[in-house]
Amino acid sequence: MSAAARIESIQAREVLDSRGRPTVEVEISVAGGWVGSAIVPSGASTGSHEAVELRDGDLRRLRGRGVRQAVGNINHLIAPHLVGQDAANQVTIDALLISLDGTRNKSRLGANAILGVSLAAARAAASAMRLPLWRYLGQGRVLPLPMINVISGGLHASHNLDFQDFMIMPVGAASYSRALEMSLEVHWAVHDLLLERELSTLKADEGGFGPALPDNRAALDLLMAAVERAGYRPGDEIAFALDAAATHFYRPEQGRYDLASEGRMCDVSELIDLLAAWVANYPIVSIEDGLAEDDWAGWRELTDRLGGAVQLVGDDLFTTNPQRVRQGVDQGIANAVLVKMNQIGTLTETLAVIRLAREAGYRPVISARSGETEDSTIADLAVATNAGQIKIGSLAQSERLAKYNQLLRIEDALGAEAQFAGWRDLSPAGSRSAGSAVG
């Protein structure tokens, strides 16, 4: 084969993620001595419809969390089939990976094994073409509006709060770099307020603060105080976004949601009432996983009630899976899709879900996982696809900053060509203008 990016070797190994847990790294060498590598992220508040992350399960080693099987699958089962292929032929490579696996949820070879190879191939092809990944992947010029974690709860912070992410969106920023500056000032203001109130400033999994607050609403009040302390107008300049991650406090046996930090169980209508009250009282423009992953009837009610006012993002609901996104679109549920590459397992399928969401008028939000690494692929993906929004975590910890910093580099490289996705520029969904959000 005369392909410029002919794969010569594939080498996988076990490395560690930001929680110190094993994950898969893959290096692919192509003709000409070019190399591409990728490291796969890992979730904690995972959805049950995600592609399968293969863990060794051998309790004698690393509590069963090792990924030696996934690594072995790459080195011994996948590599022999891919050597000689053109790394630039992403669709062919991903189709080969999917057929080698042969299962519906990538449980044989492991979605962690498959995604590592898929991304390393893209990186190897990009380097062989002397292109940065974002240029190799697409024509995009739009820096995404970040959704930045400030206060963490749920599974990422030992259940101090029921809701998982209390985030800010710097909707008043005119550029990506300015958006980061504004967000840092709010992040630091939260830090000062926590010290003044003698609350913990320790960080949760995604680098957000994980203080022991009396209830979920106290986190919103703290954010309000911090935005004002930093000198910004809530709503106009800094809006709020939530990830309830409600799957993880849903109790299927009772069909109710357990707001443990508030000492009450509520049914679906009560939880929607609570969210609606918050939307009325705080500058919230986006709510992710407001209800549990399979509560389709509840989601319908949630979308009817709030879908015209705010962005409703499906994470555990959709799991970056085209069938589930299609079902949501057909039923008019949610209006945005969280895109996590390891929920589906290949780059080609990820790009297809982004396309599918767009065509249906649903906004894509490119997202990291709570277990991350120095791999910054999602930054490149967000720009290449003009996704418009990205969710990386807090402005702390190098596994998060690897992505935020990569976006600064891309902004710099684009220079005058760089565009920034302001809230108002984002097409359909969540029609509420950020400026009118308070009240």
Active site residues: 206, 340
By CB under 5 A, what part of segment 380-419 binds Zn ion?
Answer: none
Cβ proximity of 20 and 93 under 8 Å: no
> Which residue from 6, 363, 369, 432 is in contact with ligand PGA, where contact means CB under 6 A?
369
Q: Does 315 bind Zn ion (CB under 5 A)?
A: yes
Q: Considering beta carbons, is residue 125 or 338 the nearer one to ligand PGA?
A: 338
Sort 32 into a burial class: Cβ within 10 Å, 0-12 / 13-18 / 19+: exposed
Among 146, 82, 206, CA closest to 405? 146
CB of residue 49 to ligand PGA, shortest distance in Å: 12
Gap between the Cα atoms of 366 and 145, Å rounded? 10
Q: Considering beta carbons, is residue 155 or 354 the nearer one to Zn ion?
A: 155
Strands 165-169 and 145-152: antiparallel
Choose among ligand PGA, Zn ion, none what residue 73 binds, the Cβ cut-off being 5 to 8 Å by kind. none
Give residue number: closest CB to ligand PGA.
43
Q: Considering beta carbons, is residue 324 or 369 the nearer one to ligand PGA?
A: 369
Choose among ligand PGA, Zn ion, none what residue 349 binds, the Cβ cut-off being 5 to 8 Å by kind. none
3-state secondary structure of 236: coil
Q: Does 243 bind Zn ion (CB under 5 A)?
A: yes
- Which range touches ligand PGA (CB under 6 A), out of 42-50, 55-63, 105-113, 420-428? 42-50
Instruction: Lay out the site mask for ligand PGA across 213-252 (x = CB under 6 A, - = otherwise).
Output: ------------------------------x-x-------
Gap between the Cα atoms of 396 and 419, Å rounded? 25
CB of residue 46 to ligand PGA, shortest distance in Å: 5
Q: Does 370 bind ligand PGA (CB under 6 A)?
A: yes
Gap between the Cα atoms of 161 and 381, Å rounded? 32
Among 22, 119, 125, 10, CA closest to 74? 10
CB of residue 394 to Zn ion, shortest distance in Å: 15
Gap between the Cα atoms of 285 and 167, Å rounded? 10
> Which residue from 18, 23, 37, 45 is in contact with ligand PGA, where contact means CB under 6 A?
45
Question: Could you tell me which residues come within 8 angstroms of residue 370 by beta carbon, excluding any fewer than 6 positions away?
Answer: 19, 42, 43, 44, 45, 155, 156, 205, 206, 393
Gap between the Cα atoms of 71 and 140, Å rounded? 33
Q: Considering beta carbons, is residue 295 or 315 the nearer one to Zn ion?
A: 315
Gap between the Cα atoms of 123 and 347, Å rounded? 11
CB of residue 156 to ligand PGA, shortest distance in Å: 6
Q: Considering beta carbons, is residue 204 or 230 the nearer one to ligand PGA?
A: 204
Gap between the Cα atoms of 279 and 188, Å rounded? 25
Q: Considering beta carbons, is residue 87 or 150 the nearer one to ligand PGA?
A: 150
- Which range touches ligand PGA (CB under 6 A), out of 18-26, 54-62, 171-179, 362-370? 362-370
Name the phi and psi angles at 384, rounded to 5.
Answer: -55, -35
- Which range touches Zn ion (CB under 5 A), out of 183-191, 242-250, 276-284, 325-333? 242-250
Give residue number: closest CB to Zn ion.
315
Cβ proximity of 117 and 13 under 8 Å: no
Cβ proximity of 146 and 197 under 8 Å: no
Q: Which two tokens stand for residue 32?
A: 């000409």
CB of residue 409 to Zn ion, shortest distance in Å: 27
Q: Which two tokens stand for residue 167?
A: 């985030």
Choose among ligand PGA, Zn ion, none what residue 370 binds, the Cβ cut-off being 5 to 8 Å by kind. ligand PGA
3-state secondary structure of 146: strand
> Which residue from 3, 31, 44, 184 is in contact with ligand PGA, where contact means CB under 6 A?
44
Using alpha carbons only, give the angle 98, 101, 104 rounded to the nearest 5 degrees: 75
CB of residue 340 to Zn ion, shortest distance in Å: 8
Q: Does 311 bind ligand PGA (CB under 6 A)?
A: no
3-state secondary structure of 280: helix
Q: Considering beta carbons, is residue 18 or 90 the nearer one to Zn ion?
A: 18
Q: Does 321 bind ligand PGA (CB under 6 A)?
A: no
Strands 336-339 and 311-314: parallel
Strands 165-169 and 419-420: unpaired
- Which range touches ligand PGA (CB under 6 A), out of 212-220, 233-241, 266-274, 366-374? 366-374
Kindly state the number of chain residues that form the binding site for ligand PGA, as judged by CB under 6 A: 11
Contacts with ligand PGA by CB under 6 A lie at: 43-46, 164, 243, 245, 315, 367, 369-370
> Interface with Zn ion by CB under 5 A: which residues?
243, 315
